[in-house]
Amino acid sequence: MALVDFATEGAVGVITINNPPVNALSSAVNADLAKAIEAAEDSAVRAVVIKGDKHFAAGADINEFQSVFDGTDEGRLAGNLSQTISRMEVLAKPVIAAITGFALGGGLEVAMGADFRYMARDSKVGQPEIKLGIIPGAGGTQRLARLVGWSKAKDIVYSGRFVAADEALAIGLADKVLAPDDVVETAMEDAATYASGPTRAIAAAKAAMHRGWGVAATNGLAEELDEFQRLFQTDDAREGVAAFLEKREPDFSGT
């Protein structure tokens, strides 16, 4: 059985990490996660939910860290995971991370590669790598600071503490906090809503925002204008404008 499952429900792709008991992110899990993200690139998939079985993902498989000291290839785990997360981050469709249980270390790094994070009320997130004498290696120092600001990110990374759902919501690390039984259901409902919308426009907005981050404003504005102009060649743009003029609800096809 795959350590990461991929399935579809309508136009929503569902990625499920399934490596009990806590979904540790081993090299094998990362390989399966990369395959699932590749499957999610299919144009028939118009939104994605990523989740874990019980726990989202409670960090890397620490047993593999010994390979760094041994000088074997397994020591590239963090770099490989970083590449996988970056690939998910630029998927041309909305991605929602549905967090239950723990999302720690690499697990939080995976969740931060999504567009949105929905957390169960009793779940916890964090970057505890510092307690091992190391630091996050798959984007944790970078994405966390962008989401919550420099000072709060430094607090979380330097201390290695766990962050409860309510605090995560208050600092912008979580987008919704829900009852544990409602997290996946709400994520699926919201993903289905995105999937029925103008997904070409959503993809263009996502691309412009990502490519414009950290560059000069003039470059970001140029990226935005390019995406804006390209959208006028899509069926969805024609449908959206026609529906507005005809005073009816649009029927977007994602083309």
Reported as a single tens digit per residue, the pLDDT across 177-232 is 999 999 999 999 999 999 999 999 999 999 999 888 888 889 889 989 989 999 98
Do 221 and 97 share a structural domain? no
Residues 150 and 238 in one domain: no
- In the prediction, which pLDDT does 79 show? 62
Q: Looking at residues 58-87, what average pLDDT do you find?
A: 73
Same domain, 35 and 155: yes
Question: pLDDT tens digits for 38-47?
Answer: 999 999 999 9
One domain for residues 139 and 209: no
Q: Enumerate the H helices of 12-164 as residue ranges.
A: 27-40, 66-70, 77-89, 106-112, 140-148, 150-159
State the CATH number of the domain containing residue 74: 3.90.226.10
Which pLDDT score is estimated for 216? 87
Question: C-alpha dihedral over 75, 78, 82, 85, to 10 degrees?
Answer: 110
Same domain for 33 and 119?
A: yes
Examine residue 163 and state whether it is found in any structural domain, yes or no: yes
- The pLDDT tens digits for 7-52 are 999 999 999 999 999 999 988 999 999 999 999 999 999 999 999 9
CATH of residue 228:
1.10.12
Q: The domain containing residue 144 runs over which residues?
A: 4-195
Asked whether residue 221 is assigned to any structural domain, the reply reads yes
Q: Is the domain of 24 the same as that of 56? A: yes
Q: Would you say 87 and 30 are in contact if contact means Cβ atoms under 8 Å apart?
A: no
pLDDT of residue 75: 47
DSSP, res 25: B
pTM for the predicted model, two decimal places: 0.92
Catalytic residues: 109, 129
- Residue 73's pLDDT is what? 54
Are 52 and 120 in the same domain?
Answer: yes
The answer to whether residues 55 and 135 belong to one domain is yes
Q: Are residues 144 and 88 in the same domain?
A: yes
Terminal Cα-to-Cα distance of the chain (whole angstroms): 34
